Amino acid sequence: MDAHERITRNTAEVVTEEEIEALADDPDGKRAYVGYEPSGVLHIGHMLTANKLIDLQEAGFEITVLLADVHAYLNDKGSFADIRHTAERMRDQFIAYGLDESKTQFVLGSDFQLDDDYTLDLHALELETTLARAERAMAEIKSGDSVKVSQAVYPLMQALDIPYLGVDLAVGGMEQRKVHMLARDVLPSIDREPPTSLHTPLIADLGTGEGKMSSSTGVTISMEDTREAITDKVNGAYCPPTVNPEPTDEGIGRENPVLQIFEYHVFPRFEAVVVERPEEYGGDLRYESYEPLEADLESGTLHPADAKGALSEYLDRLIAPGRGQLAD
């Protein structure tokens, strides 16, 4: 697998393809970053972008993980003391999950976001941005139903973080797309380069296959889950025997979250997946890539219950190293 394929695999979008190709031509020493609010235990949404960071490390990138304590405070996620305690725990969990500690720099937002130069540049961006534009950028990542002034400033800080961290590539889920597009629009106004960005897909709600998985509104899987909890959640997951489920009666589109987790979480981290089955049901199935597993589910060769059993096993293997961090 060449650098370009490793950088772009399992992505929903890159902006722009020309800029990504230039990075792929010479990735050594380049720096990519993701920012996370330290607002809770590491969960499957963090793990998806973490998988992409691992890909980027293997392609030659150095990684910055922004543990955005100021952002979390502005988004009403608790006191600074609580947020910073969570940040320390998340750092340990990311390393346990598989990030190369020697190639990963963890930075608190408060390490630089309270400096005079940053504050003045932030005010300059505020002069360039309407409240409506800031609210649109924040729509998919804000807490609560109403927009506070702090949340309107939040996406401008995300934009400004990119040049202040000195990164070449901004990584995030598709919910971060509007923020990155805002950054491309406003950063040139303060003589900063517009960021190259890469967006990972969103996993559908585990129980319904609708919308996106969220730890605040539905069932998700986290580093604090026991093997038994993972099994219970996966066994209850929406998993029709197809990759393209029928919409709901209300016409709402659905995805198969079990297949999505196999594609974006399991296969990037394991050379092969073995689905264990009794001989009377055909014996074990071995998959070295995602597509044959998807095809077997579609054809009926692989039963959803067997797929769920294997998913529980491999998710437990991924999550188990991080559980020990919860006791600290």
CB count within 10 Å of CB 82 equals: 15
Q: Is the pLDDT of residue 125 over 60?
A: yes
Could you read off the pLDDT of 302-318 as tens digits, one per residue?
999 999 999 999 999 99
Distance of CA 327 to the CA centre of its chain: 24
Could you read off the pLDDT of 175-201 as tens digits, one per residue?
999 999 999 999 999 999 999 999 999
Q: What is the pLDDT of residue 201?
A: 95
pTM of the predicted model, to two decimals?
Answer: 0.91
DSSP 70: H
Q: Which residue has the higher pLDDT, 217 or 47?
A: 47
Q: What is the pLDDT of residue 44?
A: 87
E strand map for the chain = 13-15, 31-36, 62-67, 104-108, 169-173, 196-200, 273-275, 285-287
Domains of the chain: 3-200 (3.40.50.620), 227-327 (1.10.240.10)
How large is the C-alpha radius of gyration of the chain?
Answer: 20
Q: What is the pLDDT of residue 144?
A: 62
Q: What is the mean pLDDT of residues 268-279?
A: 96
Written as one letter, the residue type at 78 is G
Whole-angstrom Cα distance, residue 99 to residue 188?
Answer: 32
Strand pairing of 13-15 and 196-200? Answer: antiparallel
Q: Which residue has the higher pLDDT, 53 or 1?
A: 53
DSSP 108-134: EGGGTTTSHHHHHHHHHHHHH--HHHH
Is 142 buried (19+), middle (13-18) or exposed (0-12) by CB count in 10 A? Answer: buried
Contact 255, 205 (CB under 8 A): no
Tell me the pLDDT of the chain averaged across its residues.
Answer: 92
**Helix 177-186 crosses helix 149-165 at what angle (to 10 degrees)?**
70
Q: Please calculate the CA angle 201-299-233 and round it to the nearest 5 degrees.
A: 50
Q: What's the half-sphere exposure (Cβ side, CA atoms, 13 Å) at 309? A: 12
pLDDT band at 323 (very low <50, low <70, confident <90, very high): confident
Q: Which residue has the higher pLDDT, 206 or 39?
A: 206
pLDDT band at 149 (very low <50, low <70, confident <90, very high): confident
Residues above pLDDT 90, as percent of the chain: 80
Structure tokens at 44: 């499957």
Whole-angstrom Cα distance, residue 42 to residue 21?
Answer: 31
Contact 66, 176 (CB under 8 A): no
Written as one letter, the residue type at 32 is A
pLDDT band at 223 (very low <50, low <70, confident <90, very high): confident
**Which single residue is written with the structure tokens 């969960």?**
43
Q: Is the pLDDT of residue 324 over 80?
A: no
Whole-angstrom Cα distance, residue 176 to residue 178?
Answer: 6
E strand map for 13-103 = 13-15, 31-36, 62-67
Distance of CA 112 to the CA centre of its chain: 24
Could you read off the pLDDT of 234-246 as tens digits, one per residue?
999 999 999 999 9
Q: What is the pLDDT of residue 1?
A: 86
Q: What is the pLDDT of residue 325?
A: 56
Whole-angstrom Cα distance, residue 158 to residue 223?
Answer: 26
Q: What is the pLDDT of residue 66?
A: 98
Contact 21, 5 (CB under 8 A): no
DSSP 246: P
Query: Can you tell me whether residue 81 is helix, strand or coil?
Result: helix
Phi and psi angles of residue 88, each rounded to the nearest 5 degrees, phi first: -60, -40
Q: What is the pLDDT of residue 216?
A: 63
DSSP 219: -
Could you read off the pLDDT of 82-116 as tens digits, one per residue?
999 999 999 999 999 999 999 999 999 999 999 99
Whole-angstrom Cα distance, residue 66 to residue 96?
Answer: 17
